[in-house]
Structure 1
Amino acid sequence: MADFKIISGAWAQLQAEAAPVREQVFIQEQQIAPEDEWDAQDAISQHFIVLDQGRPIAAARLLPNNSIGRVAVLKPYRGQGIGRLLMLEIMRQARLQRREFLKLSSQVHAVQFYAGLGFAVEGAQYLDCGIAHIDMRIKL
């Protein structure tokens, strides 16, 4: 596996790296409307970026309410364990911040990925931006 670097920080610091990843994955690939992708939560979240030789290839955010969101890996990098590295780093930092749990809204196709990290399904499926989702949670 290549030597990937994960950085984290505020939206003001990482927007230039995170926004193109999210634009590619959510707006272009998944056809999510830009007004649904960009919200006020970015300004108050901790953002995480995976870099491959300085190039952003994955992104996610951690909200003050312990919710992980906008987890995105560029298509050419999927299936290489990058999403797992990203999630493990978010979980590590959440533990350092003494958070008691993490939650997320998983697209249904990704449930097994998050379950493999220890997240458990909560509740029933629902549509978000026309895509089937289900809530998941992990106690830290």
Structure 2
Amino acid sequence: MDPADREACFAVRKEVFVVEQGVPQDLEYDAYDAVAVHVLAVGGDGEPLGAGRLLHGERAAAKTGGEPGVGSLGRLAVLKAARGLGVGVALVRGIEEAARALGLTAVDLHAQTHALGFYERLGYVAYGPEFPDAGIAHRAMRRELRPAG
């Protein structure tokens, strides 16, 4: 991903998480951003619509309990004007494809509780108790990945 695309990912995240949801900017961006696999959804006009990231290997260990072969999907954000258009689904599926390409067998995520139904429709299963992250209620979820083919 080139620097302009990465900046577009960060701009989407800022709009959704920092501006819309009130997440402090210093919590939204972290050291993982430098090493994550980032995905960006753009419209036909080239304008950014949504973004997300995948952590893998040692980078995902803190989020997944250190299980080998499990990646961590995070920072999934879709701009308000693009919601309901399938952008979030495309981003999740793109992250899953990146995970498969890295040899991962499952993807974990920490979903805001209002988004549980979205992830459940995509095959993710919630586990563990609800917990706060940046003052927002979350649940851990996982989807086992089938090999590509």
Supply the RMSD in Å over aligned alpha carbons.
1.2
How many pairs were matched up? 131
Correspondence for 1:107 among 88, 112, 123: 112
Structure with bigger strand share is 1
Query: Residues 32-75 of structure 1, C-alpha deviation per residue, up to 9 Å, x if partnerless?
Result: 00110010010010000001121111000001221011000000
The two structures have a TM-score, normalised by structure 2, of 0.84
Who is 1:92 aligned against? 97
Whether 2:84 is the aligned partner of 1:79: answer yes
Structure 1 unmatched ranges of 5 or more: 1-8
Who is 2:38 aligned against? 47
Who is 1:3 aligned against? none
The structural deviation recorded for 1:98 is 1.4
3-state SS of the aligned residue for 1:122?
strand
Aligned AA (1:112) = G
Who is 2:74 aligned against? 69
Query: Residues 108-136 of structure 1, C-alpha deviation per residue, up to 9 Å, x if partnerless?
Result: 00001111111100101011111000000
The two structures have a TM-score, normalised by structure 1, of 0.89
Report matched runs for 1:114-125 at 5 Å.
114-125=119-130
| Separation in structure 1 between the aligned mates of residue 143 and residue 88 of structure 2, nearest angstrom | 17
3-state SS of the aligned residue for 1:132?
strand
| Separation in structure 1 between the aligned mates of residue 4 and residue 99 of structure 2, nearest angstrom | 19
Structure 2 unmatched ranges of 5 or more: 61-70
Whether 2:72 is the aligned partner of 1:60: answer no
Give 4+ residue runs of structure 1 displaced > 6 Å after superposition.
Answer: none
